[in-house]
Amino acid sequence: MPTSEKHAAGLKDAVQDAIRDRVFSGQLPPGTRLVERQLAQELDVSRVPVREALRALEREGLVEERPTRGMVVRQLSPDDLETLYQVRSALEEILCRRLVGTLDEQGLDRLQAVVDRTAAAIDAGDSEAAVEANASFHEALVDEAGSRVLASVIEPVAGQIKWLLSQHTDAGTMNAEHQLIVAALRERDADRAIEACRQHLVSSRAEASRMPS
C-alpha cells in the first residue's frame, strides 16, 4: 500500500478512536449531533477522515444516521440493550469455559494486573481511569482466550459493550466483581466463573437501566 494510503488509513483510525473515546467518556452523550465540520476543527483534520470515521463508528453501532439530523450518537433502545446483554452473556460463557482450559499463570497474572490497576485508580481518586481500566478487563478476557474466531465474533459488538460498561459508575463494585471472576478462573472452576460473570451482568444491566433515555 502506498505511503499516502497508509497515512490516510492511520489518520482515519486516530479520528475514529478520538470520537469513540468521547462517546465512552460521556463527552458526547446519546443523541448528540455529530457535525463533520465541527469535529474536523476540534481534531485539527480535514472532513474526509471524520466522515470515514463516522461511517466506521456507525458499523460499530455507536452512531447512527437520522434523516433530519445527520449522524448522532446512538441511543440504545430497551430491545437493543436486552439483545446486547444476551449476546454478551452467551459469549462470556464460551469465554469462561475456554479460559479455564487454556489460561496459564502468566495470563491469570495479566488479568489480576487489570484488577490491581483499577484498585489503584480508585485509591487515587481517579474515577475516569478506574472506569477505563474496568472496561478494559473484558477486552483482556478476549485477548487471553487467544481465539481468532471468538475475537472476530465479538469485535462487531465490542464497542457497544465497552460503552455500556463505561456507564457503570460504581467502579469499586465492578472491580470486586472482576476479582471474583479472576479467582474462579484461577481455581479452574468454569461454573463459578460463569456464575460470577452472570452476576456481573445483572449489576451492569441495573446500571444501564438508570441511564437517561
Beta bridge partners of 73: 63
Residue 94 sits in the same domain as residue 69: no
Instruction: Tell whether 11 and 59 lie within a shared domain.
Output: yes
Sign of CA dihedral 101, 106, 112, 114: negative
What pLDDT shows up at residue 212?
Answer: 52
Identity of the residue numbered 141: L
**Assigned C-alpha cell, 36:** 463533520
Q: Which of 48, 73, 98 is the last residue of a domain?
A: 73
pTM reported for the whole predicted model:
0.75
Mean pLDDT of all residues in the chain? 87
Domain count across the chain:
2
Residue 101 shares a structural domain with residue 8: no
Residue 37, CA distances (Å) to 10, 47, 57 in order: 20, 6, 17
Out of 73, 97, 120, a domain closes at 73
Residues of the chain with pLDDT > 70: what percent? Answer: 91
Mean pLDDT for 148-157 is 87
pLDDT tens digits along 21-32: 888 777 898 899
Task: Say what percent of the chain tops pLDDT 90.
Answer: 54
Residue 149: pLDDT over 80: yes
Please indicate, yes or no, whether residues 88 and 67 belong to a single structural domain of this protein: no
Are 144 and 121 part of one and the same domain? yes
Asked whether residue 111 falls in the same domain as residue 163, the answer is: yes
| 67 and 93 fall within a common domain | no
Domain that holds residue 166: 78-209
Torsion sign, CA atoms 21, 22, 25, 26? negative
CATH number, residue 83: 1.20.120.530
Q: With cut-offs at 50, 70 and 90, classify the pLDDT of residue 1.
A: very low
**Of 46, 73, 100, which residue constitutes the final position of a domain?**
73
pLDDT of residue 88: 86
Note whether 62 and 95 are same-domain residues: no
CATH of the domain at 7: 1.10.10.10
